[in-house]
Amino acid sequence: MKFLKKLLKYLVVFFVLFIAILYITDTDYLLKAVRTIYLKGHSTAYLEDYKQFENQSIAASSNPQVWPNHANYNLVEETERLKNANTDWGTIAYVIIKNDSVWFENYYDGFDENSKSNSFSMAKSYVSGLLGKAIMEGYIKSLDQPVCDFLPAFCDDKATKMTVGDLSSMASGTNWEEAYYSPLSITTRAYFDDDLAKVMNGLEVVDVPGKTYKYASGDTQMLAMVIEKATGKKLYKYLEESFWKPLGSENDVLWQVDSEDHDLVKAYCCLASNAKDFARFGKLYKDYGKWNGQRLLDSAFVAKSLTPRFEESPQYGYGWWMLTLNGKTFDMMRGHLGQYVIVQPEDNIIIIRLGHQKSPDGTQPFTDDISLYIEEAYKMLSE
């Protein structure tokens, strides 16, 4: 009994010291990581993790616009290759929209057409769109306006050259390093820290901005802070009034925030919604900023967004990805673990895939699952 008491005492002391060390070293965010992710058996963020965090609700449209079903709705089954991929990679939603009508849809693993799941980095496309909206409404002068005009932490040395367009096109020159699976990375800290603005303001601009593409979630987070400062509106409210309601969204959406006290959205990720509501933003860009005849975004901004900024990085424009496959160009919203809204404007096709993971093929700009989802959709459409 004495041994057990002594052991318990040592364990308590160790635990208290461990917690103290985390706070002293400013890594106490790891406690939240353990509670919300690691103890639940995950090594990184997952589809329904929004339930573990603070969220702000964005209201559905008061005049929801239901996607019509195509005349050939669900007449064709998935190809065997697509079925296998959906099983192997944990697809929860696969939808093909042709001529603005739902041509095919299927849901898996207990999810349905209204089920919420984490957008991950597809949210970056929305934030870039909100930049275009803020420019259109006169809150921000242009893509060339300095970030320093809004964020005082970036008014020294190289940072003075950083523009809002650099943030949207992933060309900030900061020392942000994208690493999802390291518990000590700034990417992980940003996901769990309860004061996200403090984390962002601690970044350093180490390279001349606007010269080269480097994917960095921190760029989008800084852009969100810029937009909030410029508009005087919380980003979730600005999204609601600018796009979510005007696009006729059928469901409320949740956007994760860092904490109740600071109330800053995780802008680089973490919109919890469903496939067909996500698809609306793809249609908006397909139609160059118009929705049912209403101009929501400037067409020139949309065109620029869907054009690579840097010749050596043809895969990225301003908040959007571009893939050339089989002679066609596909514009894409894209998220961690394989969340995709894929748009082919000439064929008037939108392909949406949401799921638990993507194909494990490494460092190339586009994982192989993306081409599979496109190719199999076109095979189905040709039957």
Residue 197: which CATH number? 3.40.710.10
Cα–Cα nearest to 147, from 85, 206, 229: 229
Domain that holds residue 240: 49-382
Is 123 found in the same domain as 225? Answer: yes
**In a domain? residue 262:** yes
Say how far apart CA 201 and CA 218 lie, in whole Å: 10
pLDDT at residue 35, as a whole number: 76
**Total count of domains within the chain:** 2
Is 83 found in the same domain as 15? Answer: no
Whether the predicted model's global pTM rises above the 0.85 cut: yes
**Residue range 297-311: mean pLDDT, rounded:** 98
pLDDT at residue 22, as a whole number: 46
**In a domain? residue 44:** no
Is 55 found in the same domain as 199? Answer: yes
Where is average pLDDT lowest: 68-72, 353-357, 358-362? 358-362
Is 375 found in the same domain as 241? Answer: yes
Structure tokens at 304: 């620029």
Is 306 found in the same domain as 169? Answer: yes
pLDDT at residue 6, as a whole number: 54
CB of 337 closer than 8 Å to CB of 357: yes
Q: Average pLDDT of the chain? A: 92
Confidence check: pLDDT of 18 > 50: no
Torsion sign, CA atoms 36, 271, 134, 144: positive
**Residue range 116-140: mean pLDDT, rounded:** 98
Listed as own residue / partner, the contacts of 56-59 with beta carbons closer than 8 Å and 24 or more positions apart are 56/234, 56/236, 56/254, 56/255, 56/257, 56/263, 56/265, 57/236, 57/252, 57/253, 57/254, 58/236, 58/237, 58/239, 58/240, 58/244, 58/252, 58/253, 58/254, 58/255, 59/240, 59/244, 59/245, 59/252
Is 101 found in the same domain as 66? Answer: yes
**Residue range 227-243: mean pLDDT, rounded:** 98
Confidence check: pLDDT of 19 > 70: no
Say how far apart CA 167 and CA 134 lie, in whole Å: 14
